[in-house]
Structure 1
Amino acid sequence: MAYVSIEVEEAVRDRLAILAAEKGTTIARLIGDFAARTPTEGERAGRTARTPAGLRAEPGAARRTGRGRRTGRGRRTPN
């Protein structure tokens, strides 16, 4: 494990301490969990690039192409 020191406003530190206590963890683990689950810009770009191909591969993922809007009774009315 590496040691990192950051400087934050006192109110931010206090809030992090409260959040960590509510979750039964430490500020370090709270920040580590955030970093682990938050995608980087490169990861988001990769997901975006893969999304259209993934949607085409899934049977129910195609969008409807019909015109008009649904009335709630299954009929369509002009826009």
Structure 2
Amino acid sequence: MEILFLRVLSIIKGFFSYYLVFIMLIVSLFTLVVDIPKLKKGNFNREANIAKAISIIYIILGPIIYILLKKI
């Protein structure tokens, strides 16, 4: 079980790079600045709230996961 966990962790470490975090942040900020106002203007308030929550989660968790994986 431990070997499987270490193998999966090494795959995730290889996938998560500085560039991936940077792109996640850019996409999240774009969603917050551009997409959410358009959704609210089109009276899609529920979708705007969902997009806002996902964007904030990406902005917070992206760098945290990157830092944690680099320390392991």
Tell me the TM-score normalised to structure 2 length: 0.36
Bigger helix share: 2
Q: Which has the higher strand share?
A: 1
